[in-house]
Amino acid sequence: MSDTLAEPVVRAAAEPDGLTTTDELTTTDGLTTTDELTTTDGLTTTDGPPEPDGLAEQPAGPSLSPSRAADFMTCPLLYRFRVIDRLPEPPSPAAARGTLVHAVLERLFDEPAGARTPAAARTLLPGQWDRLVAEVPTLAELFDDATEQVAWLDEAALMLDRYFTLEDPTRIEPSYREMSVQALLESGLTLRGYIDRLDIAPTGEIRIVDYKTGLAPREEYEARALFQMKFYALVLWRTRGTIPRLLQLVYLGNGELVRYAPDEADLLATERKINALWQAIDRATTSGDWRPRPSRLCEWCSYQALCPAYGGTPPPLPVPGAPVVP
């Protein structure tokens, strides 16, 4: 059975009043698309493995990326293992597939508009995989045999096919891909990260696009996914003075779009939340109290063996000092 031709589900992220919205965004090729955004119930959710942090240039003062902010919200001890202890994590097939699919989608837009086809995307797969393995040789050890690797690559190809049911890349000219962004808040905290794709219409309207290789979350878990997007929207607002028109999550695991139109109140609330989060991180750094917070996300945690919630013992904390966020 192929699900690559399934009708895409377009969902408006829940707004405070629960109403659906109709959003119109002029695409960069001058065409206008009108998307009737409706809410869809009953979706199953599988959050994939934690997404890796970007490697944005390190600012001099304290800084936070959405990935690490999400880590602390998920589990303070997870944040500690990643940021304070800097414990290595083995690569996983799911995380590697996410990296591979992102790489292909980034390079797809190097092709002339008319050549951005599903076949072209599939053609990019082997070369991008070879490039990733050359950069991180341990990726080659993810699979027990060639059959397993072929099945894994097939799943990546299906995700790329699914992408074409959600967007038409022949009608999109991204302004930026894998865009490194940073913004210094008045609190002294620098926000930083990478945006998968930024579309800027001739009218100046901005759309932030993020590709996810997992399934779209149920609406009750949507806030978590949207936090990352609002984080980026806040960074762009602070650096460009313009509130992005649309935040768009492209879920390639089940072929669904989630869209949200942020406003000033949203982004001010996001800024307050991030500052409060940083204060909590600062308190934990000072006190050394990094508590585990078990949840179903523990399933993807690389540190279960060191976690008291699973009978483990964390290593001694490194010598105190200002945390350096990787």
Q: How far is the CB of 291 from ligand SF4 (least distance, A)?
A: 9
Can residue 48 be called a binding residue for ligand SF4 (CB under 6 A)? no
Site string for ligand SF4, 55-94 (x = CB under 6 A): --------------------x-xx----------------
Q: How far is the CB of 93 from ligand SF4 (least distance, A)?
A: 19
Which residues within the stretch 169-208 sit at the binding site for ligand SF4 (CB under 6 A)? none
Question: Rounded to 5 degrees, what are φ and ψ at 154?
Answer: -60, -40
The residue length of the chain stands at 326
Q: What angle do CA 12, 16, 20 make, to 5 degrees?
A: 35
CA distance 12 to 233: 17
Hey, what are 23's tokens?
């959003």
Q: Which is nearer to ligand SF4, 188 or 221 (CB)?
A: 221
Query: Nearest-CA neighbor of 129 among 162, 107, 161?
Result: 107
CA distance 14 to 296: 23
For ligand SF4, which residue of 266, 307, 323, 325 counts as binding (CB under 6 A)? 307
Q: Which is nearer to ligand SF4, 2 or 287 (CB)?
A: 287
The span from the first CA to the last CA of the chain, in angstroms, equals 42
Q: Which is nearer to ligand SF4, 118 or 294 (CB)?
A: 294
Q: Which is nearer to ligand SF4, 221 or 310 (CB)?
A: 310
Size of the site for ligand SF4 (CB under 6 A): 14
Q: How far is the CB of 89 from ligand SF4 (least distance, A)?
A: 11
Contact 35, 282 (CB under 8 A): no
Q: How far is the CB of 292 from ligand SF4 (least distance, A)?
A: 4
Beta-carbon contacts of 185 under 8 Å, excluding residues fewer than 6 positions away, are: 191, 238, 271, 274, 275
Q: How far is the CB of 293 from ligand SF4 (least distance, A)?
A: 6
Q: How far is the CB of 84 from ligand SF4 (least distance, A)?
A: 12
For ligand SF4, which residue of 14, 184, 185, 309 counts as binding (CB under 6 A)? 309
Q: Which is nearer to ligand SF4, 77 or 201 (CB)?
A: 77
Q: Which is nearer to ligand SF4, 186 or 296 (CB)?
A: 296
CA distance 299 to 49: 9
Q: Which is nearer to ligand SF4, 26 or 304 (CB)?
A: 304
Can residue 292 be called a binding residue for ligand SF4 (CB under 6 A)? yes
For ligand SF4, which residue of 23, 301, 323, 325 counts as binding (CB under 6 A)? 301
Can residue 304 be called a binding residue for ligand SF4 (CB under 6 A)? yes
Contact 189, 63 (CB under 8 A): yes
Q: How far is the CB of 171 from ligand SF4 (least distance, A)?
A: 41
Beta-carbon contacts of 138 under 8 Å, excluding residues fewer than 6 positions away, are: 90, 91
DSSP one-letter string for 44-111: -----SPPPP--PPPPSS-EE-HHHHHHHHH-HHHHIIIIIS-------HHHHHHHHHHHHHHHHTTS
For ligand SF4, the binding residues (CB under 6 A) are: 75, 77-78, 292-294, 297-298, 301, 303-304, 307, 309-310
